[in-house]
Amino acid sequence: MIEYTDPLPMNWNPAMKNTTHSVSSRRQFLKNTGCLATASALTGVVVPPAYAAGSDQIQVALIGCGGRGRGAAANALSTRSGPIKLVAMADISADRLKGSYQNLHGNEGLRSSVDVPADRQFLGFDAYKKAMDCLKPGDVAIFATPPAFRWVHFTYAIEKSLNVFMEKPVTVDGPTSKRMFALSEAATRKNLKVGVGLMSRHSRALAQLAKRVHDGEIGDIILQRGYRMHGPIGYFSSPPKPAGVSELLYQVQRFHSFLWAGGGNYSDFYIHIIDHLGWMKNAWPVKARALGGRHYRQSSEGVTCVDQNLDTYAVEYTYADGTKFDFDGRCMNGCSDIYASYLHGSKGSAIVSSGGDCGMPSSLYKGQRMEAADKIWESKVQDGEGDPYQNEWNDLIDAIRNDRPYSETKRGVEASLVTSMGRMAAHTGQEITFEQILNSDHEFAPGLDQLTMDSPAPLKAGPDGRYPVPQPGITKAREY
């Protein structure tokens, strides 16, 4: 374990158990961040059973009914270790909630596990509470809203003694990361199980590769490379706000476009490769240098885009031992696409993800050319274990039913911070360390636990309708 006011050691291992030193460091960390009172208030309760008392059925509430939330709910209901049922849904959009309900209930294989009548379908910024109020201690809440709301929803889940699955990223700035570290401790003390949607860690192919790399089959890692370069997707770019929708709802809906809501496309799109290459190294980078640029910034219809994203990012991460990890990201049409990750070692090399965030197969090579003639190993996965999205749910529900310790929150926050570190380096034009991003005082959107449908948006547009954008070398201490 580590103390978060120090650089991360190169031999840090996410699987290490607490030591006397780490407990002391964590206590000091909580005091330093002002979160001790919050954490303590959430721990003075009886530890809940592994799941809801009086039944072996696990009930699930879905908070955030977009495509990823719908997918997570489908994976939850597809677990086979015992009865499980979706009983509540929440969103701020009636159309999105209705569409997800119809999709899940219309799936013949899931229909019997979907029991969400109209009086358990909730709308508004307080809908998360109403949905979780439908559950019993030991049930599961799914958080698939924009990541800015993770700490808000996680706080209430801990109060209600609920197990949690939260989508990535789990934070987008330093202040909320400190808050989530404290909440992670509180959840663990209440014996709650928490999964984080960094599904690469549940890829059986990547697990096989990680073991071989950690056992030294390609020697010392001397370079890592990650790429996600393709055309615009999701809400990467946004035109000016249309009439008839509030500024707040517009920004929440198009969360990829706004740093406060989702960390921009950098945090949302690139975190998986950053996370699984950290896994291969068995460490986190301690600093980052980067560059990036805004280029065409018009929609396909020729409308000027007003979002906060850069079109291109090139980040050099550095580990404590000096090893470099180069990451390149781009969202532009007409360019050469690549979406994969690689390792170079002193004795050989590896393809980590052959395509996408964790595309199989992974493979090892005796040299640096990564050609078929030099291949020395390729991953093979058993039938039924090829889908990491399903694997992560199977693992979480197994831990709940068998009451095994299970918390991915801390690692999820660390992965989110390392991702934000690279983003901040590009947006400021400065070298940014892990300690700097963690201790940054720029909370993008304070007070999200007080939002209502009538609240003003956390980000204000200028007179020209454009939002603040990063200005590397001009705005150096903050991203905008």
Domains observed in the chain:
20-199+391-405 (3.40.50.720), 201-389+418-432 (3.30.360.10)
Answer yes or no: are the C-beta atoms of 236 and 296 closer than 8 Å.
Answer: no
Residues contacting residue 319 through CB under 8 Å, at least 6 positions apart:
10, 281, 283, 284, 285, 286, 325
Answer yes or no: are the C-beta atoms of 258 and 251 closer than 8 Å.
Answer: yes
pLDDT at 33 over 70: no
For 160-174, write each residue's pLDDT tens digit. 999 999 999 999 999
207 secondary structure, DSSP code: H
Q: Residue 50: its pLDDT value, please?
A: 54
Name residue 462's amino acid.
Answer: G
Q: What angle do CA 150, 156, 161 make, to 5 degrees?
A: 115
Of 121-130, 161-170, 237-246, 371-380, the poorest mean pLDDT is in 237-246
Q: How far is CA 114 from CA 63, 123, 320, 393, in A?
A: 15, 18, 48, 17
Q: Residue 299: its pLDDT value, please?
A: 62
For 303-352, write each residue's pLDDT tens digit. 789 999 999 999 999 999 999 999 999 999 999 999 999 999 999 999 99
To the nearest whole percent, how much of the chain has pLDDT over 70?
A: 88
Rounded to an integer, what distance in angstroms lies between the CA atom of residue 98 and that of residue 347? 54
For 454-474, write each residue's pLDDT tens digit. 999 999 999 888 899 999 999
| Confidence bin at 13 (pLDDT 50/70/90) | very low
For 148-160, write each residue's pLDDT tens digit. 999 999 999 999 9
